[in-house]
Chain A
Amino acid sequence: MLEITNLTKYYGDHLAVEDLSFSIEEGDFATLLGPSGCGKSTTLRTIAGLIEPTEGTITLRGEDVTNLPPDQRNIGMVFQSSALFPHMTVKENLAYGLKMHGLDDEVDTRVSEYLDLVEMSGYEDHKTTELSGGQQRRVSIARALAYEPDILLLDEPLTGLDRVLREQIRNEIKQIQREINVTTLFVTHDQQEALSLSNQIIVLNNGQKEQEGTPESLYEHPKNRFVAEFVGKSSRFTGQPDDTKPSVIQNGSLTFAVDPESIPDTSPNTDGADVTLYVRPEDVVIDTSSTFQNEFDATVSHIADVGSHSEIELELEDGTPVLVEAERFPDLSVGEQTTVGFDPEDVIVL
């Protein structure tokens, strides 16, 4: 459906995107995820034709569109700022794209259909400047979809909304995408948004692709430390592989048992180098009774209730923090001595 090949973009001599390739299948919900300034918007805007790539090609529906202007690409785009035309009503905003696509006859039906889709029926004649932030995003989404583009691009469309509204509109976007099955490329720096929305995530950092895959594969098998730390929460330990026992990582007084297959090649040049271990909070158990291969004494240092569960932070003997996801209102108090345990299979070694 969409294929990016060797995309490179320089602003002057500032390299914003470097040799990026990925593709999206029909009906997919893909997300470009990365920290601020990593080149997400740049990538999205080259796809839309708003900026010219320095190198590389963009193929849409099997057709090379690299040199087409934005108005000839049949793309829908939702901007960070909504970008609704202030001098037009809600209906006129939607009609603009429809008319530009020669769909004059369908203006009325499409406008009501797509306003209905985003639950904004009845707002046809409102001025866009009178809408709330959330309503503006909805209209903006309807405007981008009304002429049924081949692909929908969203550039951090939830920025500036409060948390509740963010989540609400996020779910609506997901629902709409399922309903009309439009191929979607979403840009965000929020890993939670990416994990909950997409079936394909492309992680960018410094203009380069770090990893690409399903949310599960990124979460469970991050390829490098950046992805491991950027996608999902985890506790982090460092240490050195013990040459005599392949399944053990030693860090001072602490010894971690890991899945031997997960240890990176101990080839001569990596020999002796530190490895980093990650354990996801839901894989750690606070328990004094059951036995784990990895079990450590720990002190509770912080308890936060996050609604569906509690996040508990503990400190190992040497001060290393451990993050644990537990049920709400655990029978623990700050300062309490306890133990934490996890299985070797749940340790990610990088």
Chain B
Amino acid sequence: MIFRNLPVPTSVRERVTPRHLVAFGLGWLALFFVLPILVLVWQSLGIGTGEPLSAYQQALSGLYLWTIVRSFYYGIATTIVTLALAYAFSYFVVFWTSMKNLFLILVVLPLWIAYIIRYLGIQLFFSPTGPFVDLFGTDFGFLFSTRGVILGMTIAYLPFAILPIYNSMNAIDRDHIHASRVLGAGSLRTVYSVVFPLSLSGIVAAGLIVFILSSGSFLAPAVLGSSENFMIANMIERSYTELFNIELAAALSVIYTIILLALIAVFNSYVNLGEVFENI
């Protein structure tokens, strides 16, 4: 079937340009995303209540400040563990196996499964009736602890780290590696002086993604941690649904987002975030 004789008035033809399509997309985003966020920022200021900015005072003190610090601490820890595993795994897939596609499919598959289900699976694995306790008689403190939260986030975000690292490593010209080996460098030395520098952009991209996702995680502490492991996302949710303190929830959101966007801005000059996400 062919569409034709569609009347396109000259006025429309001249007026609808790609710019309008951009405007439509950005407009939609502005209306249902940017505007709501701005409203949230406005609410965080608490103007009209007795004490403006008091929510920020509260958010930057005591328990809440610690939660913010903990979020970034967990984020960094998760990023380090994830990068190490992803790097070793990518190295294996790129240089040691001929079944690249199979391994990649197995890595991508979990991305299709909702986080809540994957976290549930981890909890089941370590639960008192699960196979781990069955085998060892104890969960080694993996459940409802820092360890559990970081392990959970590592599992959840591993594919996001593997894909960019794998892509950048796979793009390395094999001749560089052969050259290094021929020049007499051992394989570890080759990794250090050839593979690592050439895959650095993938590592930075992977690190950035994992850090963004993990520091903002809600489900990992909620499913695999206790209230002592609460991160910023959990505090925001609790301030809103349990304390009914929208100013506080908004202030926490603003503080966290500003810190994160600043970090992204710093790294965005090094890696283009659009390309980073395109890897996935």
A contacts, CB < 8 Å to B: 69, 96, 99-100
Is B13 a contact of A69 with CB atoms below 8 Å? yes
Q: Check B22 for interface membership: any CB of A closer than 8 A.
A: no
Q: List, in ascending order, chain B residues with CB within 8 A of A96's CB.
A: 2
Interface of A is mostly: helix
> In the bound complex, what is the Cα–Cα distance between A69 and B10 (angstroms)?
10
Q: Check B4 for interface membership: any CB of A closer than 8 A.
A: yes
Q: Which residues 1-28 in B have Cβ within 8 Å of A in the complex?
A: 2, 4, 13
Q: Which residue of B lies closest to A69 (CB)?
A: B13
Least Cβ distance of B3 to chain A in Å? 10
> In the bound complex, what is the Cα–Cα distance between A184 and B72 (angstroms)?
68
Q: List, in ascending order, chain A residues with CB within 8 A of B2's CB.
A: 96, 99-100
Least Cβ distance of A98 to chain B in Å? 10
Q: Which residue of B lies closest to A92 (CB)?
A: B2
Q: Which residue of A lies closest to B10 (CB)?
A: A69
> In the bound complex, what is the Cα–Cα distance between A315 and B144 (angstroms)?
90
User: 6 A-B residue contacts at CB 8 Å?
Assistant: A69-B13, A96-B2, A99-B2, A99-B4, A100-B2, A100-B4
> In the bound complex, what is the Cα–Cα distance between A99 and B13 (angstroms)?
21
Least Cβ distance of B52 to chain A in Å? 49
> In the bound complex, what is the Cα–Cα distance between A96 and B2 (angstroms)?
8
Q: List, in ascending order, chain B residues with CB within 8 A of A100's CB.
A: 2, 4
Q: Which residue of A lies closest to B5 (CB)?
A: A102
Q: List, in ascending order, chain A residues with CB within 8 A of B13's CB.
A: 69
Least Cβ distance of B140 to chain A in Å? 57
Least Cβ distance of A71 to chain B in Å? 10
Q: Which residue of A lies closest to B2 (CB)?
A: A99
> In the bound complex, what is the Cα–Cα distance between A125 and B13 (angstroms)?
34
Q: List, in ascending order, chain B residues with CB within 8 A of A99's CB.
A: 2, 4
In the A-B complex, the 3 residue pairs with the smallest Cβ-Cβ separation, listed nearest first, are: A99-B2, A100-B4, A99-B4
Least Cβ distance of B72 to chain A in Å? 45
Q: List, in ascending order, chain A residues with CB within 8 A of B4's CB.
A: 99-100
Least Cβ distance of A128 to chain B in Å? 16
Q: Which residue of B lies closest to A100 (CB)?
A: B4
> In the bound complex, what is the Cα–Cα distance between A69 and B9 (angstroms)?
12
> In the bound complex, what is the Cα–Cα distance between A100 and B6 (angstroms)?
11
Least Cβ distance of B15 to chain A in Å? 14
> In the bound complex, what is the Cα–Cα distance between A273 and B33 (angstroms)?
72
Least Cβ distance of A287 to chain B in Å? 55
> In the bound complex, what is the Cα–Cα distance between A99 and B1 (angstroms)?
11
> In the bound complex, what is the Cα–Cα distance between A69 and B4 (angstroms)?
16
> In the bound complex, what is the Cα–Cα distance between A100 and B13 (angstroms)?
18
Q: Which residues 191-241 in B have Cβ within 8 Å of A in the complex?
A: none
> In the bound complex, what is the Cα–Cα distance between A100 and B4 (angstroms)?
7
> In the bound complex, what is the Cα–Cα distance between A69 and B2 (angstroms)?
20
> In the bound complex, what is the Cα–Cα distance between A96 and B4 (angstroms)?
10
> In the bound complex, what is the Cα–Cα distance between A320 and B13 (angstroms)?
61
Least Cβ distance of B115 to chain A in Å? 37
Q: Which residues 109-139 in B have Cβ within 8 Å of A in the complex?
A: none
Q: Which residue of B lies closest to A88 (CB)?
A: B2
Least Cβ distance of B9 to chain A in Å? 12
Least Cβ distance of A96 to chain B in Å? 7
> In the bound complex, what is the Cα–Cα distance between A96 and B1 (angstroms)?
10
Q: List, in ascending order, chain B residues with CB within 8 A of A69's CB.
A: 13
> In the bound complex, what is the Cα–Cα distance between A99 and B3 (angstroms)?
10
